[in-house]
Amino acid sequence: MKPKLSPKECLEVAEFLITESQRLGCRLDIRLLVDKALPDFAQHRNHNTETHWKDLVLATLEEQLLALKYTRGPSALRKMVKADEHQIVRDILATWPTRADRITAWQEQTQKSERASYRRLREISV
C-alpha cells in the first residue's frame, strides 16, 4: 500500500530527489521517487525509522553511483575509470620497488586482478 502524502509533501520529496540526482550526476528515475523516496518520507514522518528520509534517499542514490562505477557503462565513465587506474599504476611504479609489492598495492587499491594491472601498464607504456 502506497503512503498517503499531501501534494506539498510530494513536492518536497520530488524537489529533493531532483536536486540530489543532478548534484551527484545520477539519471533521474521515477521509480526511485515512487518506490523509495515517498515511502521513506512517510516512514520518517510517521516515526517508523530513526534515519532521516533524506539520508535514506541519498544512500540509495550513492548505491546507484557505486553500481555504475563497477559496471560497463557509457564510454565516458569507462574512460574516467581507466584514467584513474593509469594514475594508480604510475603512482605504484614510483613508490614500490618490487613486482610483488606493486601487485599487492594494485590489488589493495583497485580490488582488481594482477592481469588487469599489466593491461593498464601496457596502455600507459604504448
Is the pLDDT at 112 greater than 60? The verdict is yes
Is the pLDDT at 10 greater than 70? The verdict is yes
Please enumerate, as own/partner, the contacts of 77-85 that have beta carbons within 8 Å and a separation of 24 or more.
82/120, 82/123, 85/110, 85/112, 85/116, 85/120
Residue 4: per-residue pLDDT: 86
Is the pLDDT at 74 greater than 90? The verdict is no
| Mean pLDDT of all residues belonging to the chain | 87
Residue 76: per-residue pLDDT: 74
Q: Indicate the pLDDT class of residue 68, thresholds 50, 70 and 90.
A: low
